[in-house]
Amino acid sequence: MDDDTLIQAAIAVRERAYAPYSNFRVGSALVTPDGQLFVGCNVENASYGLAICAERAAICAAVAAGHQQFAAVAVASSGGVSPCGACRQVLMEFGDMSVILVDVDQEHAVRRHALSELLPHGFSL
Ligand code: THU
């Protein structure tokens, strides 16, 4: 799968975000080494601390479908933000992967990082 397909999936699922409290929508798309795609969006709650980030929603969807290896994750947001620390740790559970940050405000400008660059010295047992 090319990066553009992954990026477009993250942008599309961001439209489904449930973010009435922050109004900050995030979409995430994961691709497996053989090209299967899984998406997630942030889902907020009136009890604010229960918000689920887009990246973790995508991981849960992929793992529930039987996948535990990922080549890349795209994250689409206003400003092209980086995954929060908790999501970096959850993504790293499944190994290093490319992280593609998509800024929906800047004509979908992208920045690319290795997850291991975003989370040096992550926790492992
Ligand atoms: N959020 C994500 O979905 N992913 C991140 O990596 C950072 C933050 C969401 C959580 C919350 O719904 C909103 O963005 C504002 O923090």
Instruction: Identify the active-site residue in 55, 93, 107, 117.
Output: 55
Domains of the chain: which residue ranges?
Answer: 3-118
Task: Give DSSP secondary structure letters for 44-96.
Answer: --SSGGG-B-HHHHHHHHHHHTT----SEEEEEETT-PPPPHHHHHHHHTT--
Domain 3-118 in CATH 3.40.140.10? The answer is yes
Q: Rounded to the nearest whole angstrom, what is the distance from the C-alpha of residue 17 to the centroid of ligand 1?
A: 10
27-80 residue pLDDT tens: 999 999 999 999 999 999 999 999 999 999 999 999 999 999 999 999 999 999
Distance CA 15, CA 111 (A): 21
Residue nearest to atom 1 of ligand 1 (CA): 53
- How large is the average pLDDT for residues 98-110? 93
44 is catalytic: no
**Model-level pTM greater than 0.95?**
yes
